[in-house]
Amino acid sequence: MSSTSDLTWFKSSHSGSDGDACVEIALTPATVHVRDSKDRHGPRLTLSPAAWHRFVSYAARA
């Protein structure tokens, strides 16, 4: 992957029909990229797959 502009972004299937108030993620073998769906050109968070797994596991328990 040459740049983050080449990423394929998607939202959770749990997002509402409006789909404008959630996060989007893009996956690569080495990273999980996270952005705000309302600000697609704004800041992005980049996590390792292990860190993403820990976050999702924590969020599922909350």
- The predicted-structure confidence for 38-49, as pLDDT tens digits, reads as follows 888 889 999 999
Residue of 46, 41, 42, 43 whose CA lies nearest to 30: 46
Give pTM, 2 decimals.
0.77
What is the pLDDT of the chain when averaged over all its residues?
Answer: 85
Model pLDDT, residue 49: 96
CB 28 within 8 A of CB 8: no
Which residues neighbour 38 within 8 Å (Cβ) at sequence distance 6 or greater?
Answer: 20, 21
How would you class 24 by CB atoms within 10 Å of its CB: exposed for 0-12, middle for 13-18, buried for 19 or more?
buried
- The residues near 50 (Cβ < 8 Å, ≥ 6 apart) are none
